[in-house]
Amino acid sequence: MRLTRGALLVAGTALAPALLLTTPAVAADTAPVSVAVTAAPSVVDPGTPVDEMSEEELRVTIVRILADPDSGRGVTEAANEALDGTVEDMREFLRTGYRLAQADDDRVAIVRLLGDPASGPAVIREAGRALDDGSPEVVRAFLETGLRLARFEDDRVAITRILADPDSGRAVRREADEALDAGTPEAARAFLETGYRLAQAEDDRVTVARMLADPDISDALRAAAQDVIDGTPEELRYFLESGQYEVDR
């Protein structure tokens, strides 16, 4: 069941679907891909040794694995092969095949992280270490805990860069500081995914309001500013970056 690293690199795109987390452009170089972490289901009753299971119990256990939405392609294929085989094939799957197939799926997920340009340096470093080790326990530990911590390291770097940006406004700095002070992976990720966008919009509205308070702006620019001040964060950002220069000033 164990795949070579070369085979994983080829299979990564096809076998490990991942959802990109959308983050602000300023933090794009450290915004990692989100990989669905598939914890090994506890469907094998530790109180019932595999060697003592009846054929029906073996089948029920494997069917439960197949029914788990988190089971990857490698696990699914190995489970189906076991069901199509003999009783001993099913026992062997539950003894060792399941663990190895899960590891193959985990390695593919890690390859996707390594190949994604949005993965930050810490994620790439820790993913590479896990893949180089290659053992089922190490790759699982990375996906269950190591990825979260590495992503946190990258997120803190991204937030620090936002704070160091001279163009960051008061609301952005306030929310960025709060995210860092919270000191949790969840707070940092929430800021980059949603808090930054909303804080930027707050700062942008203040900028537009100041523009409206200027008695010397043109009627066209005033009208455009009034139209956008209650708009979405994206509309505000576009107006300040480009739209204001497209009207008669």
pTM of the model as a whole = 0.72
Could you tell me if 139 and 22 lie in one domain?
yes
Between residues 39 and 216, which one has the greater pLDDT? 216
Q: Among 117, 145, 164, give the residue marking a domain's end.
A: 164
Res 70: pLDDT: 87
211: confidence class by pLDDT, cuts 50, 70, 90: very high
Could you tell me if 80 and 109 lie in one domain?
yes
Could you tell me if 133 and 175 lie in one domain?
no
> Over 90: is that where the pLDDT of 7 sits?
no
* pLDDT, tens digit, 9 for 90 and up, residues 106-131: 999 999 999 999 899 999 999 999 99
* pLDDT, tens digit, 9 for 90 and up, residues 47-85: 578 999 999 999 999 999 999 998 999 999 999 999 999
Mean pLDDT of the chain, nearest integer: 85
* Contact present, 104 and 4 (Cβ < 8 Å): no
Res 47: pLDDT: 58
Could you tell me if 202 and 144 lie in one domain?
no
pLDDT (average), residues 87-92: 96
Q: Among 129, 147, 164, give the residue marking a domain's end.
A: 164
Res 248: pLDDT: 76
φ, ψ of residue 220 to 5 degrees: the values are: -65, -40
Could you tell me if 20 and 129 lie in one domain?
yes
* pLDDT, tens digit, 9 for 90 and up, residues 151-180: 999 999 999 999 999 999 999 999 999 999
Could you tell me if 186 and 112 lie in one domain?
no
Res 35: pLDDT: 54
* CA distance linking residue 203 with residue 210, whole number of Å: 11
Could you tell me if 198 and 83 lie in one domain?
no
User: Could you identify the residue written with the tokens 């939405």?
Assistant: 69
Could you tell me if 140 and 207 lie in one domain?
no
247: confidence class by pLDDT, cuts 50, 70, 90: confident
Identify the CA nearest to 113 among candidates 147, 90, 69, 83.
147
Res 27: pLDDT: 45
Could you tell me if 61 and 152 lie in one domain?
yes
Paired strand residues for 19: 34
Could you tell me if 119 and 215 lie in one domain?
no
Could you tell me if 59 and 82 lie in one domain?
yes
Between residues 5 and 154, which one has the greater pLDDT? 154
> Over 60: is that where the pLDDT of 3 sits?
no
Angle subtended at Cα 225 by Cα 222 and Cα 226, rounded to the nearest 5 degrees: 85
Q: Which run of H or of E encompasses 1?
A: none
* pLDDT, tens digit, 9 for 90 and up, residues 11-45: 343 333 333 333 444 444 444 444 544 444 445 55
Helix-strand-coil split of the chain, %, nearest 5: 75, 0, 25
Identify the CA nearest to 62 among candidates 86, 78, 38.
78
206 Cβ contact partners less than 8 Å away, ≥ 6 residues apart: 169, 170, 171
Could you tell me if 203 and 145 lie in one domain?
no
Distance of CA 117 to the CA centre of its chain: 13
Which structural domain range is residue 51 located in? Answer: 1-164
Question: Computed from CA positions of residues 102, 116, 134, 138, in that sequence, does the dihedral angle turn out positive or negative?
Answer: negative
How many helices and strands (H and E) does the chain possess? 13, 2
Q: Among 164, 180, 198, give the residue marking a domain's end.
A: 164
Number of domains present in the structure of the chain: 2
